Structure 1
Amino acid sequence: MASKRLVKGFCALVATQAVFTTVQPVLADSLEQTPAPRSEVRAANRQHLIDLSISLEPDSADLLERTLYDISDPSSWRYGKHLTREEAKSLLLPRPESVESVKRWLSEAGIPDDRVRDEGSLIHARIATEHAERLLSTRLVHDQELMTKLADFVPADLRGHITAIHPTLVLGDSDLGESLRSKRRMQASEPPPGEGIAAEQNGHVHLQQCKTRITPACLRKLYHMGDTYAKPHNRSLLGVVGFNGQAAQHDMLDKFVEMFARYAIGANFSTELINGGKNPQGEYPSGEANLDIQYTIAMAHKVPVRYYSTGGEGHDFIPDLDISDPKKEYIEPWLPFVSHMLELPDDQLPHVVSISYGVNEQAVPKAHAKQVCDLFGLLGTRGVSVIVSSGDTGPGVSCQSNDGTNSTKFLPAFPATCPYVTSVGATESNGPESAMNFSSGGFSDYWPRPAWQEKAVSSYLAKHGKKWQGYYNPEGRGTPDVAAQGNAYVIVNHGKVAPAGGTSASAPVFASIVALLNDLRFQQGKPSMGFLNPWLYSIGDQGFTDITAGRSDGCLGTSYSGAPAPKVPGAGWDAVPGWDPVTGWGTPLFDRLKSLAGK
């Protein structure tokens, strides 16, 4: 059974400058038809500014998907012909009348033109509290409890133009409080202390030892990487995403490479702050950030690594048995992160992004999930590979729907289910490597199965689909796409060697391999791999070890909160020949992938 250890997350710490905190998006398909009652806002709050991100309905609903798949399909003449920032934005451009209507609405509320920024599919407006009240007839206060009671109004004549509104409060330095529990786990098992450290300093490791502790040397040997290091190229950049106040520590990286990756001594990472994110050094929550940074630095040696620390809390979720209280709990601020990335100039955009966070798909409002997923797709058109952990919940934890029917069902995870990202599951041990029991996978309830996945998933379902019929959507996008080791990692955290693991370890390892493949392609004058999945399911699957041992488990009768939940005896996905919903295509073999990616 998977561990129930949770990552404790904390919001960015108090600083002297203004910062942001994300509050609930307003979904256009659920807006009230009449204005909400107005309520008094405290004087201090009326001095705050609010950033509104207004998402507009695109003029062409399928232009993004058609373009992304053409650019990413190895059989297409457009393969690898990635778009510029402006070309990518044009794929989600709204109708001119939509832009005009929304701008007129903002103007009539007294918002000056210089406070409105048109970014194509999104219109941003920085407004005073009084303007927000006039615009949305809503109460906007900074208290965590009251923010979750946000009530909104959009005029009826704008409902065909707006898909979502995402408000962000611009707060002063005294307004940040302690954040609350993240519902994403970082799995771990305790490694034998100190075993094998001396040998690994010299790059030597025995696979028997790697059954109980995973280090960079283990991963290099398991995945046939040898001493392959990148040749620094001005186009190479690997991005690591941080949420929940996780702070990546430079001194812990130094200690880690000294102990486990001496070839990388002196390596460092840069930091970019998004939406009020911070990366303070010292005794701060850092386990996830240190895991991601230490293994990307070690595995993608000489590829520049940048940590994108993203602030804010998303209280815009639909409660279920696992994440139930919008007043006290939150999900990650996906929209501020991906919006920032899309605004980066082409020469500053990372070609690989590693994300180790997620939540039950059903907890994210569908309109908001689709908005974020589409923006991930735009990154793909610009040549970015978005690598996401599949989750650490097997087929699900609480296994109950939140649509009012309380149906017993498996629960896929977002953003792994987004068809425009590459989802990474977890394995353990070796000889043979087997599926990790907590490795999340399954089938999306939001997105249908993409064409590039049809053959592999249909084949799986024809052989194995009846076993859990009724608990999952057989027409949905299947996850994960691939897998990597996810158990018994060693990291250095708070000055000590510590255990870590989960698909949050698997994702940065696979992202590092993709970054090395990109570097090799750059040396050959070729473009980045970009959105991987059409290539993975047509050519790249030959570069993986098919995992056929082990299975996931879940639906054990208890939710994250400890409350009773439906129990499904034996629930889980088996690792089988070919693609499966616990390890995808299996684990990478770098030597084979290098050959396949170079063609």
Structure 2
Amino acid sequence: MLWRSSFLTAVVPLCFASPIFPRWDDLEVKHAWSSVPRNWISVGLPPNGTTIDLRIALKPHREDALVGALYEVSDPAHEKYGAHLSKEEVATLVAPHPDTVELVHAWLGHHGVPASSIRPSYNGGWLTITSLPASQADALLGASYQVYRHTETDETLLRTVEYSLPVDLHAHVALVAPTTYFGGPRALHRTSRLTPTAKHLLAGALDDPPESPTTVSSSCAGMIVPSCLQALYNTGSYTPTATDQNTLGITGYLQENASQADLTLFLSKLMPDAATADFTVVSVAGGTNDQNNPTLEASLDIQYAESLAFPTPTIFYTTGGSPPFQADENTPANTNEPYLDWLDFILAQSDIPQTISTSYGDDEQTVPPDYAQTVCSLFAQLGAQGVSVLFSSGDTGVGDDCVSNDGLNTPMFLPNFPATCPYITAVGGTTGVNPETAAGLSSGGFSNYFARPSYQDTAVSNFISGLGTQFSGLYNASGRGFPDISAQAENFIIVIGQEPFLAEGTSCAAPTVSAIVSLLNDYLISQGKSPLGFLNPLLYSTGAAGLNDITSGSNPGCNTDGFSAVEGWDPVTGLGTPDFGKLQAIVG
């Protein structure tokens, strides 16, 4: 099967012959916003002595080699299916040409950047410069770094609204960060929210939950507990056995804290056989996990991942570098990039969980295209190594604040990133039982940055044909469609601070599907087979028969009814919800 590049931007041939006399003062804009992103205001230049850590993404020698290899090992019809790459093999595929490295080092040397402050990262495809004076970063990038404050959250960032590179470097450098990625009030936002419900009713549900993991109780229509999901998605009769090899990873940002005491109470009430479960905490970039301050997102993710995948070992990655940010005289603003901090860490590891769930995202248009494309390629590195990476699709239907941010205010649906990255699996939301229907909050649509990947050509084309001219001009019909799959996303009982709450959002769906994928990986590993890795080529081919098609409901937004769930793929529930038993038979 042939696969095509997933970026809308044209592939620029790399010119590897270094210019004999490069002109470092001949600058060309790499990315610029038309104005300061909405809700951000400049509060002035950073104080003298302010430093910043810069990351420079170098373009690989063979630009399509990584994606080509990813699809080979992920396509069930390919002879290399399941033959995932080692960390070293991936590093070879993403390695820049020696001319690129030489030219970039010459540029840095011209601007007085000491070699001792430069280190390679991300399998050698990036250079990280530590403690660079902000004034020197300005000169290096033709930029104007300033301290920006968000008018609603008071978060501060050290950013520039524009940066440039010498013309001779554009064919060699994919991205410099942090530069123009501001994020916003929903940057890495939690895709779940508490529902006002009388706590005494929830307490009663905790004390008298549905017992059968094989029969869907009528109570599941209004309140979800782990046994509801086991019955809905046919996992109740499976017990993991490859627990010495298979691991499930959960990522956390925004100072989210997962409580072991809350997990124990949750499981003792709802899954007593799993009440001994615990999780490992791994700190990334100064991330913490305060046991005295449990929070919604981490509680939801850990409690449902653990309950469905038990006794599979679970790792909670807590990543720092996100608001609230405490300034000091040398670091007046947040200069970190949480996605990049976590990816830098995880790609350096020799042992990575086979399944990783993330419940955060941004409006795609708030993420600079070069940033989105380069970060997406890093997720492709994980997929090539046999890691299934899943993201919640978001909770805003087809969007809110539905205009472009390019100064033209063009009406448009707003897709979410990283859900639009073609190398991850995006998880939408459903609600109700017998039958399940689309949850109105389930974000879905079409990317404006990434072209439709070939693995979903048929499925997405069928949907667009049926849509006709409805919503014409509000979405990109040639873009990557999302979500890919879905699961329950409303009325989840969770425990926070030893008290019960109800939660909703595709943050409920992502750990649910991730746990089911982890069970599939456990089964494969127990049979001496490779884990699933990047899921989408499987889901859009033979795996579709293992999904429950959702054919009713919609995802309203932007003053419209949104897209409708239909037979086959749709941008509300994707291909449907998982049936573990059927998928087990398909992959086994």
TM-score interval, normalised by the smaller of the two chains: 0.7 to 0.9
Cα deviation 1:501-525 (Å, max 9, x = unaligned): 2101100100000001001000111
Q: What percent of counterpart residues are identical?
A: 39
* 8 Å contact from structure 1 (residues 361, 412) kept in 2: yes
The corresponding residue for 1:224 is 234
Q: Which amino acid aligns with 2:302?
A: I
TM superposition shift of 1:55: 0.7
The corresponding residue for 1:278 is 288
Q: Identify which of 189, 209, 219 aligns with 1:200.
A: 209
Question: Counterpart of 1:233 in 2: which secondary structure?
Answer: coil
Report 1:24-63 matches (<5 A).
Answer: 29-30=30-31, 42=47, 45-46=49-50, 50-63=52-65
* 8 Å contact from structure 2 (residues 30, 164) kept in 1: no
Query: Is 2:386 the counterpart of 1:383?
Result: yes
Cα deviation 1:249-273 (Å, max 9, x = unaligned): 1111111111112121111111111
Query: Is 2:509 the counterpart of 1:500?
Result: no
Q: Which amino acid aligns with 1:166?
A: A
* 8 Å contact from structure 1 (residues 291, 491) kept in 2: yes
* 8 Å contact from structure 1 (residues 313, 333) kept in 2: yes
Query: Is 2:171 the counterpart of 1:166?
Result: no
Q: Identify which of 294, 300, 306 aligns with 1:291.
A: 300
TM superposition shift of 1:128: 4.3
TM superposition shift of 1:78: 0.7
TM superposition shift of 1:399: 1.4
CA change 1:593–1:462 in 2 (3 A) is same
TM superposition shift of 1:385: 0.6
The corresponding residue for 1:528 is 531
Cα deviation 1:521-553 (Å, max 9, x = unaligned): 001110110000001011111111111121111
The corresponding residue for 1:117 is 119
Q: Identify which of 547, 552, 565 aligns with 1:544.
A: 547
TM superposition shift of 1:374: 0.6
State the distance in 2 between where 1:133 and 1:450 align: 37
Question: Counterpart of 1:466 in 2: which secondary structure?
Answer: coil
Question: Counterpart of 1:99 in 2: which secondary structure?
Answer: helix
State the distance in 1 between where 2:319 and 2:262 align: 20
TM superposition shift of 1:460: 1.4
TM superposition shift of 1:232: 3.8
State the distance in 2 between where 1:28 and 1:542 align: 48
* 8 Å contact from structure 1 (residues 409, 470) kept in 2: yes
The corresponding residue for 1:397 is 400
State the distance in 2 between where 1:128 and 1:593 align: 50
* 8 Å contact from structure 1 (residues 394, 552) kept in 2: yes
Q: Identify which of 219, 226, 238 aligns with 2:248.
A: 238
* 8 Å contact from structure 2 (residues 69, 384) kept in 1: yes
TM superposition shift of 1:115: 2.7
* 8 Å contact from structure 1 (residues 551, 582) kept in 2: yes
Report 1:183-582 matches (<5 A).
Answer: 183-190=189-196, 192-200=201-209, 203=212, 207-283=217-293, 286-313=295-322, 333-345=338-350, 348-556=351-559, 570-582=560-572
CA change 1:281–1:121 in 2 (3 A) is same
TM superposition shift of 1:228: 1.6
* 8 Å contact from structure 1 (residues 243, 311) kept in 2: yes
TM superposition shift of 1:102: 1.4
Question: Counterpart of 1:231 in 2: which secondary structure?
Answer: coil
TM score, norm. by length of structure 1: 0.82
State the distance in 1 between where 2:398 and 2:163 align: 35
The corresponding residue for 2:8 is none
Cα deviation 1:541-585 (Å, max 9, x = unaligned): 1111111121111113xxxxxxxxxxxxx3311111111111111
Cα deviation 1:303-331 (Å, max 9, x = unaligned): 1111111122499xxxxxxxxxxx99999
State the distance in 2 between where 1:146 and 1:510 align: 34
TM score, norm. by length of structure 2: 0.84
Question: Counterpart of 1:30 in 2: which secondary structure?
Answer: strand
Q: Is there any run of 5+ residues in structure 2 with no aligned partner, and where?
A: 1-26, 34-43, 150-155, 325-331
State the distance in 1 between where 2:445 and 2:321 align: 29
Q: Identify which of 70, 74, 77 aligns with 2:76.
A: 74
Query: Is 2:578 the counterpart of 1:588?
Result: yes
State the distance in 2 between where 1:84 and 1:409 align: 41
Q: How many residues align?
A: 527
What RMSD over aligned residues (CA atoms) do the two structures have, in Å? Answer: 2.8
* 8 Å contact from structure 2 (residues 212, 231) kept in 1: no
The corresponding residue for 2:85 is 83
TM superposition shift of 1:300: 0.6
State the distance in 1 between where 2:564 and 2:336 align: 29
CA change 1:499–1:28 in 2 (3 A) is farther
TM superposition shift of 1:40: 7.9
The corresponding residue for 2:22 is none
Q: Which amino acid aligns with 1:30?
A: H
CA change 1:180–1:546 in 2 (3 A) is closer
TM superposition shift of 1:448: 1.1
State the distance in 2 between where 1:532 and 1:104 align: 41
Q: Is there any run of 5+ residues in structure 1 with no aligned partner, and where?
A: 1-25, 33-38, 169-178, 316-326, 557-569
State the distance in 2 between where 1:441 and 1:331 align: 28
Report 1:92-103 matches (<5 A).
Answer: 92-103=94-105
The corresponding residue for 1:3 is none
TM superposition shift of 1:337: 1.7
Cα deviation 1:189-229 (Å, max 9, x = unaligned): 35642344344385567521001100101100111111322
The corresponding residue for 2:130 is 126
Q: Which amino acid aligns with 1:123?
A: L
CA change 1:332–1:358 in 2 (3 A) is farther
Q: Which amino acid aligns with 2:253?
A: F
* 8 Å contact from structure 2 (residues 32, 161) kept in 1: no
Question: Counterpart of 1:358 in 2: which secondary structure?
Answer: strand
State the distance in 2 between where 1:442 and 1:137 align: 36
* 8 Å contact from structure 1 (residues 184, 359) kept in 2: no
State the distance in 2 between where 1:477 and 1:431 align: 30
* 8 Å contact from structure 1 (residues 483, 587) kept in 2: yes
CA change 1:42–1:464 in 2 (3 A) is closer
CA change 1:158–1:201 in 2 (3 A) is same
The corresponding residue for 2:39 is none
State the distance in 1 between where 2:555 and 2:370 align: 30
Question: Counterpart of 2:435 in 1: which secondary structure?
Answer: coil
State the distance in 2 between where 1:272 and 1:166 align: 24
State the distance in 2 between where 1:367 and 1:186 align: 28
TM superposition shift of 1:74: 0.5
Cα deviation 1:470-527 (Å, max 9, x = unaligned): 2111111111111100000010012200111210110010000000100100011101
